[in-house]
Structure 1
Amino acid sequence: MSTEIKKFKITIDGQTTEVMPGTSILEAARQIGGKSVPPAMCYYKPLESSGGRCRTCLVEVSKGSEADPRPMPKLVASCRTGVMDGMEVKNLTSEKTQEGRKAVTEFLLVNHPLDCPVCDQAGECHLQDLGYEHGVQATRTDFERRTFEPEDIGPYIKLHMNRCILCARCVLAANQLTEEREHGILFRGDHAEISTYLNKALDNDFIGNVIDVCPVGALTDRTARFASRVWFTKPMNASCSCGKCSGKAVLWMKGDEIVRVTARKDQYDEVEEWICNECRFDRKELSQWTIEGPRHISRHSVISLNHYQKPADEHTLLSNSHAKEISTADGQKTEN
């Protein structure tokens, strides 16, 4: 007879939920939903061993557990820290967390060029969103930024190493989707860069997915470069008959023209099902697809409506009706 596994109770920004043992703080926050979910630049749930590199998901643990209620002395990476029973976490409600995230954002922007007006990732860039929320107007470093020449690492993929934040998502995706990975992180420290081994081209049938997992504009689709800004296109769910993948994709339309094709992503911008190169790069005619209807892109962006006017009680907004509120210090309760 199987025994029922006891779930752990965790409270994040005053919102309580129960999760299975082994769940990370970030996944627990996503289970609650709402505005208390920490951002993630390197963590990607579909990719094994992702996370722990960018530190944008830092949170404050104000109570370790019921057994040991002492707070953790430093901010922790929520994607790599497991939940303990009775743990209490502060994300939006912690000034220490916001200051730490601001410092991480400034660090990521030290070498990152502010070329958003010409970058194809503008409007879909997580670093652009973080830069708006936590960035500073000027850099404090006196050193020159690292610069690289744009590189074609295959017939369909353009690499802009200047924009790379070394999240390693593309490397992990290639490890998971291809039998013989041909690119990776070369050198170490400040000299580290993404590149191919011996100038090989990335031509695996599923290698185009590295474009979708990139959180910035370091890897872009050569077939759609400078074709249109993302906010001028309309995303449409579509499917086709494909023997290599599910054939389920998103067509980014400009009138009757297919500007680009991407995999379908969830609300956290993570790919639901990988698609092959043929669907992504070669099928650009409407007759090759069955249109299912318009797709709602729920992830926030600096171009989203009303994003520039944040509500004062942002941390109390919930999107999960099953999450419970706890009383505040003055005895009041916030509403779901």
Structure 2
Amino acid sequence: MEDTKPNVVKITFDGIEVEVEAGTTIMQAARRIAEADGTQAHLVPPAMCYYKPLEGTGGKCRACLVKVAQGSAKDTRPMPKLVPSCITQVQDGMVVENTTNPAVLEARKGVVEFLLINHPLDCPICDQAGECHLQDFAFEHGAAQTRYEEERRTFEKHDIGPYIQLHMTRCILCYRCVYTADQITNQRVHGVLNRGDAAEISTYIEKAIDNDFSGNVIDVCPVGALTDKTYRFKNRVWFTKPVDAHRDCPTCKGEVTLWCRGEEVIRVTARKNQWGEVQDFICNTCRFDQKKTSDWVIEGPTKVQRSSVISANKYRADLVKKPDFALKLASSQYKAIDDSRPYVTDPDTIRQQSVENNDKANHRSLLAENN
């Protein structure tokens, strides 16, 4: 029996050539570049609705628009409009412009503006703050001011089940939660109701979401529209310590991230990859009922990206790497520390050196004023 090798195509993404299998989307090709070289992670288009583990997602938020400057090697004409990279498949010889195209960056500013039209400015009280994809998207591509003057739409908060609260005012209608409930459960009772500016995520005839995997809609939500009622207003994510853990669970794989405050487990979530996507969905028993460290086998600290606010005050050389620009800035503007100097602990010596240093500083100030 002959071996069938996958059909490989070559594309150029922001000047970088990469070979991928036929049928791969532009988004996945960009992620392939970043996975091979971590310094190129900024080239990957943002994604608010696309979620690789869920079939059918993508093409709704238009956050990942890119310019196809050359359709393929056979047809070198550019595509007339910007295309969503999450659902557009690559062609051999395709040339894609992302961060190098001004029209793409300008379009993303418009997308951010539309997403924020009705989104409330309640980041200071939102439990999603610090791990919100909309925050990251707005920071990277948004404007500091808004042109919107009309009244924003608002909705009442709803409890959809014993563990989940829906704050529809924050929702951006990415449909991720709907696809999650459709594909990993057999009892979906919620979806998008109504149309236009009246569209909202809601439960049919006020039914509750109470299946074993319903809590996963919290993890896939890119904003703070679906939150964990057992965690609401308990802590900020940058004050907690995430650790990887697992347990023998008959329902799911049992591999999670524990968010600890001291020795207390205040939240349990599914593990996510570098793109913020769940690797393996977990059951409600692991998420809501197992809140003791004795219930879990602790594997070690969760690897957190250096740029994430979650890593605040938790930097470790073996987990995160300092960015090159910070090292270059430090070497150009600050003197290197002389580690050969003796480590002084005597209070009298420290006090005397402090007086001498102050006298030197005052002397330099007088010289600067006289000159």
Normalised to the residue count of structure 2, the TM-score between the two structures is 0.81
Comparing both structures, which one devotes a greater share of its residues to helix?
Answer: 2
Which one has more relative contact order, counting CA pairs under 8 Å at least 6 apart?
1
Question: For residues 182-229 of structure 1, what are the alpha-carbon distances to aligned partners after superposition, in whole Å with 9 as ceiling and x for unaligned?
Answer: 000001111110000111111100010000000000000000001110
Counterpart CA distance in 1 for 2:6 and 2:129 is: 44
Question: For residues 92-147 of structure 1, what are the alpha-carbon distances to aligned partners after superposition, in whole Å with 9 as ceiling and x for unaligned?
Answer: 11111110111000100000001000000001001001111222233212321110
Between the aligned residues of both structures, percent identity stands at 62
Once structures 1 and 2 are overlaid, which stretch shifts more, 127-136 or 293-302? 293-302
Counterpart CA distance in 1 for 2:247 and 2:5 is: 43
Counterpart CA distance in 2 for 1:275 and 1:152 is: 21
Cα-Cα RMSD: 1.8
Offset, 1:298: 2.7
Contact 1:105–1:135, Cα closer than 8 Å, also in 2: yes
Q: Tell me, which stretches of 5 or more residues in structure 2 are unaligned?
A: 35-39, 316-322, 326-371
Residue 187 of structure 1 pairs with residue 194 of structure 2: yes
- The residue aligned with 1:232 is 239
- The residue aligned with 2:57 is 50
Offset, 1:178: 1.1
| Match among 92, 96, 99 for residue 106 of structure 2 | 99
Contact 1:239–1:291, Cα closer than 8 Å, also in 2: yes
Contact 1:8–1:18, Cα closer than 8 Å, also in 2: yes
Offset, 1:273: 0.5
Contact 2:304–2:310, Cα closer than 8 Å, also in 1: no
Larger radius of gyration: 2
Question: For residues 295-328 of structure 1, what are the alpha-carbon distances to aligned partners after superposition, in whole Å with 9 as ceiling and x for unaligned?
Answer: 012385467679xx996xxxxxxxxxxxxxxxxx
Residue identity in the other structure for 1:174: A
Contact 2:69–2:96, Cα closer than 8 Å, also in 1: yes
Counterpart CA distance in 2 for 1:148 and 1:302 is: 29
Residue 108 of structure 1 pairs with residue 115 of structure 2: yes
Question: For residues 248-285 of structure 1, what are the alpha-carbon distances to aligned partners after superposition, in whole Å with 9 as ceiling and x for unaligned?
Answer: 10000110011100000100011111100010001111
Taking structure 1 as reference, are residues 4 and 289 closer, same or farther at Cα in structure 2, changes over 3 Å only? closer
Taking structure 1 as reference, are residues 69 and 31 closer, same or farther at Cα in structure 2, changes over 3 Å only? same
Partner secondary structure for residue 48 of structure 2:
coil
State the number of aligned residues: 310
Offset, 1:80: 0.9
Partner secondary structure for residue 224 of structure 1:
coil
- The residue aligned with 1:160 is 167
Counterpart CA distance in 1 for 2:47 and 2:80 is: 22
- The residue aligned with 2:149 is 142
Once structures 1 and 2 are overlaid, which stretch shifts more, 132-141 or 97-106? 132-141
Once structures 1 and 2 are overlaid, which stretch shifts more, 154-163 or 135-144? 135-144
Counterpart CA distance in 1 for 2:304 and 2:155 is: 32
Contact 1:236–1:251, Cα closer than 8 Å, also in 2: yes
Counterpart CA distance in 2 for 1:124 and 1:239 is: 22
Contact 2:238–2:309, Cα closer than 8 Å, also in 1: no
Counterpart CA distance in 2 for 1:244 and 1:303 is: 29
- The residue aligned with 1:198 is 205
Normalised to the residue count of structure 1, the TM-score between the two structures is 0.89
What aligned pairs does 1:320-331 form with structure 2 within 5 A after superposition? none
Taking structure 1 as reference, are residues 299 and 28 closer, same or farther at Cα in structure 2, changes over 3 Å only? farther
Offset, 1:18: 0.6
- The residue aligned with 2:182 is 175
